[in-house]
Structure formats: C-alpha cells, structure tokens
Structure 1
C-alpha cells in the first residue's frame, strides 16, 4: 500500500505530527475480538480528530465483519484480498492519475506488494512477504476466514524484491507470512528459497524468519539455520497449549511431545538460538489440571520468551459454540501466572548470554547509547564514546559483548 500511495502522488505522514490529513488508512487485525474492537475504536477517534479526512479500512477484519465497519463511520472498505488495488477504491475521492501505476498484478498474487524497496529509508530492517493464507482452520482461529487459502509468492518475484531490498541497503530481511513454513512454489520450499537467497552477494546482510507454524516434517530447517551464519538464530513457534487434550480440541496438528522434540533438537544443534512461542489460556473446557499440565510443560522447555493470550471467542469459529466456556476471571488469573513465567523464561535465557559476543545492526543512538538487535533477538544497549557515535551508526554491523541484563528482553553491552 505504501508503494502504491507514494506512486499515486500521496504524501505519507504520521498522524501524530500532522494537523490536517486528507486520507487515513487503517490496516485492521481480526485475530482477537479485542483487536477488532480496537480497530473500530481507532477509526472513530480518527474521524473525530480529522473530520474532513476520508477514512479507509482494509485488512483481515474487513473480510470477517464487513457490516460493522459501516457503523464505525468509515468512508471506504477495501477487502483484504483487494489491498493492492486500494487506489482503485479511492480514485473517485481524489483527482490523481493512475497511468503511472503498475496494475499488472496477477490474480494469484494480488495480495502481495510488488515494489516495496525504498519504502523505509531510515530503517535497517525490511519485511518481505512470501506467503499468505491458511487452511488449518484451528477451532478458535478466525484467520483462515479473513486471509483465505494458503498461497505462496512466485519464486522469481520473491527473489526480485529480495535483491532490491539488499541493493537498497537493508541489512536484515524478515521473511513474513501467515505460515511461511508452508512456502511452496513449483515444488520449491522455504529451505530452497533460503539457499537461493544466501547465494546472493554481498554477504553483509542477514535473514530472519517470521512466525513459523510448527511443521515437524521440516527437520531440514534446523540444519539450514545451523549451517549458515546469515540466517538469524531465531524461531517463533506458536505452541498454543501444553496439554494434548486441549491441542486436539483446538485442532492443532501435533502433540506436545512432537513440539518438545523439535525445540530441544533446535537448541542442541544451534547454540544460543532464541525460540519463542505463543500460548492461549482459557480455551473452552480447559480444567485446572489442563492448565497445570500446560504450565509444567512450558517450564520444561528451553524457551527464550512467551507471548500469552487469553482465549478470545470469535463468532463463526467452532470453538465459539463449545460448551464449558471459561469465565473472564479465571482467564485473567491464568494469564497472570503464565505472564510471570514468561518473565522467568526470558531472564533464564538472557542470563546465559552474559559475556558472549554478537553482531548487532545499529538502529538507534541516543546520548551515547546505541541500540540494535542480535541475530538471536536480544535488544542490546551499547554505551559508546559520543564523539564516535555518528561514525559507528554508519557501520552495517557492530561487534558487541553483552555484559548484563537490562529491561525485559534487553541487555547491556560494550563494543568488542
């Protein structure tokens, strides 16, 4: 969308710093009912702050609950599947010629932005979307209804944009999608794609994998990460629960034993790898014993961090009609317990990184402290000589030694 709007003649502004906006685009999320509600509240607040602006909404929630958006006072609803045709929806509101805009999006890939290089000139990290959609239909999840069936971005087009991002100067490319582990174009897999990307020159870049649904047939992914320093030692694997009974009720495709085997193998083969996960508490029918089983299982895993979510009832999903819905009070109590565990897991992981050396990409400098992320997803805050800070910020990578714990998922460091 950013690329299309820039080409279409729009000037992109942050709404916090601009008093008058002509067009406001809200990219919605439908993963939880809370996210949907917040998106609509945000639309209403933008309408109040900028009454003369045209409010456009797109994203997953437009596919799931389109009717509610008319009640929120928005002017244009662009279905998520038509996101790349957004200018066609707004051209009647603004007199902007579209002749220079590339409209040759193939129907199969109409959701992928075709030209994102140069969009973030002051950032060192860029997202590259390689996949979208899901057909797992987990019983609690609304995503398949909003994103459609799985589809992989065309091989050559993916590599074209990857090369453009590298040429523009990005130092870290994050591969994103609903489930990038399912990438498959003409029988070429995610591992094949990684190997092709790693054949590019120069070598001053690294690749990070976005959230990856557990695909335990992909043991080769562990070996691929272990064999190449330019692939970040990082995996985000959504577990969702630690009791097999609940996993089965959720419609997940694996057992907790399979998940544990994969995680422990990754930690064994890839030193200092950061593995994070998601977990849902309060799924319908979750007993005290189920929750305790989940808690004990999570404690046993070598996880670096944990995202905890309370079950969110989404109308239209099978779980919404399940009996034994859990009360909000119990969900909140269980959420608190796992949030405390998440902090313990993070501290345990970070403590093992003290006095180790990593390469970071300098992203920000303030008062002689440079911040950047290690390949294994630790935010490093490095004190430097202020007179050299500007010069150091121009370096593609800095070698740092982590010296101690800072805030949550954050460490102090020094130049090595």
Structure 2
C-alpha cells in the first residue's frame, strides 16, 4: 500500500464528510445494489418518476402525452438523439450553468456529447469507483488510464492528475517502441491499476509474452478492462502474466459503467440501480426472447439534463433477468458483442488502437457527422466522410489522421451522405481491407 494512496483516501473522506458524506453514501448504496440486486418496486418507481419528469420538462417528450408506459416511448439511437438534441434537452437547462460534458465518438464514428448536472456526474464517478471496489480496488490507488490522449481535447491537468493519482498512458501507437515505453512507465511510476481498452491490453500482454519481459518489480494489483469485448485469449494471458484475472466491464461515455464482472463470473452483472436494461430484437423494437441475441438498450434513470430514455447503445448481446429468493431483481449480460473494430496499421506497419480514430473525430464535432477510415494498402487509406462541407477544412482532417497514420500516408477523401451500417446495426469507425494485414 503506497503512501500516496492512503493520503488521497484520507483527504477524500475528510472533504466528503465535511459536505455530509454524500459521495460515500452514494458509493456504498451503488455497490450494495449492484451486488445484492434491487426490488421490483424500485425499478417500477424509477421508471415512473423518469417518464413523468421527461413529459413535463423535455420539449421532445412533452409533445406526446399519449406515451404513458416505457414501451410507448421510441427507441433512440445516437443519431436520433443528435437529430432532436435541442428538443430532448430539458427546458432552461443551459441557463442553469454548472453542466458537465460526457463526450464520445464511439465505435460508430459519430461524435456525441451528452450534458449532465452535478448529481449525474457524481453518480458517474461513484459508479466507476463502485465497480472497481467490488473487485478489490482501494480508493486512492495509482491508476494508469490507457487512452489515445489528445492535447487540448481529453488530456487532464497536472493538478487533476496528481489529485486523482492518475497517470495518462497514451496508446495512440501500439508498436514495440511505444509498448516498451509503457512498460517502463508502469514500473517507474509504480502504477497499481491498469484501466485499459481491450485492444490495448491485448497488445500489451502479447508484447510482454513475446519479449519475455520481467515484470517482477511492477506494483500492478488490478487490471480493469473496458470498451470493446475482451477476448478470452487475452483474459487468460493476463491471468497468466499477472497472477490474477482482469476485470471485464461494459459501459460508455454517455452513461457510465452499465455492467461489471464480479469475481470469476463470466457474465456481466448489470447496474440496476442506475439503469433499466432491455434487449430488443435485431430488426424490430419487440423484446428479444430469453437467450436470443438482440440490441442492448438502456434507460438512464438519473440524467435530468439530457434524458436518455430507451437508448440503443449500438451493441448487441444476450441478457437474462431473474428474481432471487429474497424477491430482489438481478440482471446479467450473458454475452456482449459489438465494438469489434478492424485492427489498423500505420505506414510503418505498427498497429493502431481503434480509439485513435474515435478520438480524432472529437476534434471535428459538429462538422464531421460520421467518418470511417479504410486501409487498402500499407500506406493507402480512404476516408469516408459525412460532413458539413462548408465548414470542413479538408487539410485539417487529413492532417489529423496523418498524425497517427504517418506522414507518408496516402489519404483520399470520399464524401458520402450516409455510411452504411452492418447487419448488427452498427458500422465501424475503421476497417482493414489490406490483404497483407488481414
């Protein structure tokens, strides 16, 4: 246990206690409800309160008083929310101030920012801590967050990094030189928790195994996997290398963590305290049959600024709901699919994280609606772009992609009105059609 960890935990608890211990209470309730389930009455009450709220405060839902139960409300994709963005926002929300931005481009390649108030932001943060603590995390532990960090867009200040004991681990490039630097940083900075996307964890563990790197001096006690589904091979290799299993999670930037793996349970336990989950048929909004693969749809109980009722996450999976002997409800994602982007390579043949392409699009929010990068050859790339051409500066877009693909990248732009989706109901932000790397 490191001194910095203990100090931060003490300071957090003291500051929270001075404000009535709100965050600690929220965290403990969240942990209990995830682990022990919720009552059917809680789920019914939360839905009723939310639907009543949106019909009174959101212009989009106000127009439809005939929608009385959840099934009456439309299933909304990211594109639907963007189309009706100003209408969905509750009245006078922007004038109230103190709003937070939950931004994502997602694997569908569509930039999207959800506004929320301080209460929802606290719930997002405590939800994250709750999911971690249920798997052994201690508040204040030094964690390395693996992302494609973009200066001026998603990086954090030195003060915030110090306060949260967080190290920004850049995964823009996952070539051997970059992976070696990441390994050195993990050891030198005594990182205790790796919070990483599946693709980055796959690259890191593969590198450690392939090079026989000595990690005996590492202080890593926990590996937390998020984003795209973690392959079983990576799960087992992580367990072999570190001596403990990685934690699988499921969520998004718009809502927070939706489900978490507890212990060695291969299923994901759904957070029924914060969300109402549904699985709908692939080609209709009818409920999927038990055990049937369908679209993952969630209703967020607590975003009172930008209500997300029946949000189609773009992912697919299988869910089961059951009631225990105490009458409490539990939800499990038996399988989660989606977010399976093709592995892309830069001009030097080094693999790139799918999140490079996601985060690049954040720079062009409001100008580029959709974009997909296709690799046709070692240095040949095509950008399918659905954008406002009057506002878009082509040179800036190409430069943003070339920053990661390499200066020798031959990038051509093809403008489209819409990027075709896959049979799963999604399209990926990148695709590799180069035979040399398939």
TM-score scaled to structure 1, two decimals?
0.28
Which fold has the larger relative contact order, with Cα–Cα distance below 8 Å and residues 6 or more apart in sequence? 2
TM-score scaled to structure 2, two decimals?
0.27
